[in-house]
Amino acid sequence: MKKLKNSELNRIDVSTFKSIKKTPLIIILDNIRSLNNIGSIFRTSDAFLIEKIYLCGITATPPNRKITKTAIGSTKTVEWEYINDINNLVKNLISQEVKIWSVEQAVKSSKLKDLKSIDANKKNALIFGNEIDGVSQEVINKSHGVIEISQYGTKHSLNISVAAGIVIWKFYNLIKSN
């Protein structure tokens, strides 16, 4: 087995990325404090051709040196928009028939590992909340569903960029399998 060089990966360029069909998946980041987490989620969103990222509340926006450091150019490829009030955004997306999923630990949440299918004919949006407080109860109440990543150790949560990577990968595969 030979490790591939970057030049052998056959990656698309920025103009091609912008013109190709995107995965019908929206990422919403609400009150994210860590600029490194924001940049990492941009990079993951680029990898899976995510349609759009919404940055809400105190979540910082590009251009920002700390975001750019981990995003490695993906802030220029992935479409994004800043919306101050997540509640207005969620209401607007619901009116457009987007299915809203909060990623949080909650009573009667759906375990990500048990999710076998989603309606790939509809757009889906994944909401990731603040690193300490998570997704607000008000937003959870507006969501169509809540997804929880099963964990088995002593810690009660994952880093948000890790959680986003896991959930985005799962949704990408569920969408592509339909």
Residue 119: pLDDT over 90: no
Yes or no: say if 124 and 22 are a contact pair by the CB < 8 Å rule.
Answer: no
Sorting pLDDT into bands at 50, 70 and 90, what band is 13?
Answer: very high
Residue 120: pLDDT over 80: no
Residue 148 carries which DSSP code?
E
Residue 128 identity: F
Residue 108: pLDDT over 80: yes
Closest CA to 147 of 83, 120, 158, 132: 158
**Integer CA distances (angstroms), 32 to 40, 54, 129, 131, 133, in order:** 12, 11, 7, 6, 10
Residue 171 identity: F
* Radius of gyration of the chain from its Cα atoms, rounded to whole angstroms: 16
Q: What tens digit of pLDDT does each residue of 32-80 get?
A: 999 999 999 999 999 999 999 999 999 999 999 999 999 999 999 999 9
Sorting pLDDT into bands at 50, 70 and 90, what band is 7?
Answer: confident
- 3-class state of residue 95 by DSSP: helix
β 80-83/50-56 pair status: parallel
Crossing angle between the packed helical segments 35-47 and 160-177, to the nearest 10 degrees: 20
> Cα angle at 161 between 163 and 151, to 5 degrees?
25
Q: What tens digit of pLDDT does each residue of 14-30 get?
A: 999 999 999 999 999 99
Closest CA to 100 of 130, 136, 133: 136
Q: What tens digit of pLDDT does each residue of 123-178 get?
A: 999 999 999 999 999 999 999 999 999 999 999 899 999 999 999 999 999 999 97
Which CATH number among 3.40.1280.10, 3.40.640.10, 1.10.3720.10, 3.40.630.10 corresponds to the domain 21-177? 3.40.1280.10
Chain Cα centroid distance, residue 61: 15
Residue 97: pLDDT over 80: yes
| Residue-range domain boundaries for the chain | 21-177
Position 67 scores a pLDDT of: 97
